[in-house]
Amino acid sequence: MGASALVMAGIVLVAADHIDAPSTAGTTADIADFYAFEPVEGSDHTVFVVDLQSNVLPELAYGTFDEGVLTEINLDLDGDLVEDYVIQAIPRDGHMYFFAGAPATTGLDSKVMTDLPLGEVEISGPDAIVATTDNGVSLFAGPRQDPFFFDFFRFNAVIDPAVDSAPDGFLPPDQATDTFDGANTLSIVVEIPNGMLGSASAQNALGIPVYKTWVTTNSKQ
Amino acid sequence: MKIMTIKYLCFSLLAIAVLGACSNDDGMAGMQQATCGDGIMNGSETGVDCGGMYCSPCETMGMNPDFSGTYSQADHMGRPGINTVLGYDMEGQPSVKDAQNVTIPSEMAAAFRAGFEARLEQYYDVYANKLGLDPNDINYEPNILGLDATTLTTVLAADVLEVAPDAPTTYFDPGTDLDNDGRILVPDGDEVGLTGRRLQDDVIDISLILLFGGQEGDRFSGQDLDMDGQADLPRLTSDGVALTAENITDTFPYAGAPE
């Protein structure tokens, strides 16, 4: 069965990780997207943006952070693809609580690192509420515009094996449609001094020192 | 309502504390404590108006959330777009994505590389069929990074996003024909990237170029080979859309206000 048939069968596939597997798609643990960047050129801070859930399609879960879901931003400093530093975020009673540091254990199961508090911020409504800690960490959690862009429905037609499905491939710019135009998502944003994260000894393919980073959601057992 | 009650309680405690501090002629401490009732987390506070050196501990004000228990991994994401394109098995089912969500990154390449490469070749077969060509003749060719299919899928299967602490953030930019060999081919010294992902980066087009662009990045880009006004090759290196989110800002939290 081709991907377009999957969509017709009512299984919602959305993208960058917006398109997710059946076990997490449309749940409160569904990661929509992940960004990591230098806030301005020359800054000694790094910004991490995690987008959870999305309202790009009406069938998807979207609305509130789930107190049973622990979000973790993982950083590997030395290139072995094992996390050396973890930033945790978990909501309680209208606030997002953050913890950060070297994890006691690695792997698929986690506990909240209550001995390593980073700070907390009230979860925003439409207007952003921002907290900045003494050590220069900025924190945000709340609804934001989903910046991701992709002609996702044309993509489904492109990868459909049927010979008459999109033989020309994607559409030219004047005909293509951003499926995510107008969508919102629930964002967790952390801006943190690099000095707190540690020194990067891993390198990218062009020889530049990098953190290797990934985000996970984790459901309370 | 609970938060308001807590804050009022905190403020009352603060007032008592400040008065006490002043009666001890400890003006500095009194000034520090003044942040305990301003409704924001500042000074040495570990929560809003609580914790730290001067305010009441958060837990004694009823703000002692229960963080106990074990949390097990449900979803994973590193690099954008890759699982979208390659996370399906040969039957078009996203079972690979399900498995990858609960696999640690150090084990991903071994688990998923071969499937990614098979899926990549399958896309070329799909388009060979759509073009009426023999699938054996239309295959992946090394991309603008010079990576063959095995190397590329080894890199992509380990789903992590690289971000450079000491370099400008560029998802990928192959640069121009710096060495004047008539080709953009990387590496020629002016390519930059793999240093993170900004909110406005066109990660889908870059992914498509790396997967379907060949060594010049434009192998299947809707070319009109016989100049008859009709594309003879499919457009696979761009989805044709650009950023539409107009609310992105250059100050924290960067992501724009919801629509």
CB pairs under 8 A between A and B: 370
A9 and B CB contact within 8 Å: no
Distance, CA of B108 to CA of B90 (rounded, Å): 18
- Contact indicator for A33, A16 with CB cutoff of 8 Å: yes
* Cα angle A124-B71-A131, degrees, rounded to a multiple of 5: 25
Measured between CA atoms, the residue of chain B closest to residue A185 is: B258
Element (H, E) at B7: helix B2-23
Q: Where does the pLDDT of residue B47 fall: very low under 50, low under 70, confident under 90, or very high at 90 and above?
A: confident
A84 and B CB contact within 8 Å: no
**A146 Cα to chain B: minimum distance (Å):** 7
Q: Which of B100, B194, B247 sits opposite A145 (nearest CB)?
A: B247
* Cβ–Cβ below 8 Å for A147 and B255: yes
Q: Report the candidate in B54, B49, B55, B66 with the shortest Cα–Cα distance to residue B3.
A: B49
Tell me which of A28, A38, A73, A156 to substitute to probe the interface with B (most B C-beta atoms closer than 10 Å).
Answer: A38
DSSP-derived 3-state class of residue A4? helix
Q: Where does the pLDDT of residue B169 fall: very low under 50, low under 70, confident under 90, or very high at 90 and above?
A: very high
Judge whether residue A140 has pLDDT over 50: yes
Distance, CA of B209 to CA of B219 (rounded, Å): 9
Measured between CA atoms, the residue of chain B closest to residue A12 is: B94
Q: Which of B42, B239, B255 sits opposite A144 (nearest CB)?
A: B255
Measured between CA atoms, the residue of chain B closest to residue A168 is: B234
Distance, CA of A31 to CA of A73 (rounded, Å): 12
**What average pLDDT does range B133-138 have in this prediction?**
94
Taking the model in full, what pTM does it have? 0.83
Measured between CA atoms, the residue of chain B closest to residue A208 is: B164
DSSP single-letter state for residue A187? E
**A219 Cα to chain B: minimum distance (Å):** 5
Angle between helices B108-130 and B203-212 (to 10 degrees): 80
As separate numbers, helices (DSSP H) first and strands (DSSP E) second, chain A gives 3, 11
Distance, CA of A199 to CA of A193 (rounded, Å): 11
Measured between CA atoms, the residue of chain B closest to residue A204 is: B194
* Cβ–Cβ below 8 Å for B239 and A150: yes
* Cβ–Cβ below 8 Å for A194 and B241: no
Chain A residues whose CB is inside 8 A of the B249 CB are none
Q: What confidence tens digit (pLDDT) does each residue in B52-103 have?
A: 777 766 655 445 799 999 999 999 999 998 877 888 777 777 778 889 999 9
Write B138-143 long-range contacts (CB < 8 A, 24+).
B140/B211, B141/B214, B141/B215, B141/B219, B142/B214, B142/B215, B143/B209, B143/B210, B143/B211, B143/B213, B143/B214, B143/B215, B143/B217
**What average pLDDT does range A25-49 have in this prediction?**
94
| Tokens encoding B93 | 């089912």
Number of compact structural domains in chain A: 1
Secondary structure of B195-229 in the HEC alphabet?
Answer: CCECCCCCHHHHHHHHHHCHHHCCCCECCCCCCCC
Distance, CA of B259 to CA of B222 (rounded, Å): 35
Domain span at A56: 3-219
Chain B residues whose CB is inside 8 A of the A18 CB are 84
Distance, CA of B88 to CA of B94 (rounded, Å): 4
- Which pLDDT score, from 0 to 100, does residue B191 have? 75
* Cβ–Cβ below 8 Å for A120 and B255: no
Q: Where does the pLDDT of residue A78 fall: very low under 50, low under 70, confident under 90, or very high at 90 and above?
A: very high
Q: Which residues of A102-114 are buried (b: 16+ CB within 10 A; e: fewer)?
A: ebeebeeebbbbe
**What average pLDDT does range B106-132 have in this prediction?**
93
Q: Which of B44, B47, B104 sits opposite A120 (nearest CB)?
A: B47
- Which pLDDT score, from 0 to 100, does residue B17 have? 35
ipTM for this model: 0.91
How crowded is the C-beta side of A150, counted as CA atoms within 13 Å? Answer: 27
Longest dimension (CA), chain B: 92
